[in-house]
Amino acid sequence: MSLIVAIQMDPIEAINIDADSTFIMALEAQARGHCLYHYLPQDLALINGRVIAGARPLLLRREMGNHCTLGAQEWIDLALVDVVLMRQDPPFDMAYITATHLLEHVHPDTLVVNDPVSVRNAPEKLFITHFPELMPPTLITSSKEQVLEFRDEHKDLIIKPLFGNGGAGVFHIRPGDENLHALLELFTELYREPTIVQRYEPAVRDGDKRIILIDGKPAGALNRVPAIGESRSNLHVGGTAQQAALTKREREICEAIGPALTERGLIFVGIDVIGDYMTEINVTSPTCLQEINRFDNSKLEADIWDVIEMKALDSED
């Protein structure tokens, strides 16, 4: 079965081929004989009820500095495409949300991964609130007074923007830290949305585990240990990757959320777990496939494509 696959992502010429998850997903699709197109989110359009994209034929190779060949741009009707991979990086802003609305017109006849309606309805830091028993104590508010009361109760806090990504704007506010008031004032100036405040989990010093779920089932994991003097464990801000296996508690978390992911058409998801608590459910553009593959000698992109091909075949019936 040969599929036509359109990949909606940021400029592919600039990616790091040794770390980028979309690259190996696309490389696997090419190896399976699928026809690839690449387009930027801003090249998505709706005209007279048809969703079209200014896409370019794409060929890939694992060759640093020469990893892609892009053909001439052509406007393709996404209703005639088999699969769209929605893989642009956040921020989850109105441009991102608009793209989900446009892709909703073609899904599920054209399989969009992940389901655009569910992506729109499941921001990382809000979707998780449907599983309060799996979260650390959490407050989402625009009220300074509520933050201060939360601090009185939990002392040690993590404060972050509700729609931030990649660790940007994440602050660890320790008991007695005099910067809290100024930080809340800054967040009020920078963001219209409420702020998310969580109890700081000291277990983060042992690592923040990224767990990949494919069609609702755990498929691999990676531990990310923050650098000394840093509360964030993201790899691009200095976190160290370590091989990891799932604990009993982490399997319980996956079993609890798995059915909801499958029901919502969220095929490729990454969750973050610190100690006994899940802190985020990443559905927009999850990462860490290559790092996990190297540690586990696995090929998670093949597992993802097994599911995509099955669902694409089902959508044709």
End-to-end CA distance of the chain: 14
To the query of whether residue 43 is one of the catalytic residues in this protein, the response is no
To the query of whether residue 311 is one of the catalytic residues in this protein, the response is no
Q: Tokens standing for 116?
A: 């655009």
- Catalytic entry in 232, 234, 250, 303: 232
- Catalytic entry in 56, 87, 210, 264: 210
- Catalytic entry in 87, 209, 224, 264: 224
- Catalytic entry in 56, 87, 120, 125: 125
To the query of whether residue 160 is one of the catalytic residues in this protein, the response is yes
- Plot region of 145 (φ>0 → left; ψ -120 to 50 → alpha; else → beta): alpha
Q: Give the residues across from 44 on adjacent strands.
A: 53
- Catalytic entry in 87, 160, 199, 264: 160
To the query of whether residue 210 is one of the catalytic residues in this protein, the response is yes
To the query of whether residue 199 is one of the catalytic residues in this protein, the response is no
Task: Answer for the pair 278, 271: CB distance below 8 angstroms, yes or no.
Answer: yes
Task: Answer for the pair 219, 286: CB distance below 8 angstroms, yes or no.
Answer: no
To the query of whether residue 280 is one of the catalytic residues in this protein, the response is yes
Task: Answer for the pair 124, 197: CB distance below 8 angstroms, yes or no.
Answer: no
To the query of whether residue 62 is one of the catalytic residues in this protein, the response is no
- Catalytic entry in 20, 124, 208, 272: 272
- Catalytic entry in 28, 82, 124, 280: 280
To the query of whether residue 189 is one of the catalytic residues in this protein, the response is no
φ/ψ of residue 4, rounded to 5: -95, 120
Residues carrying an active site annotation: 125, 160, 210, 224, 232, 272, 280, 282
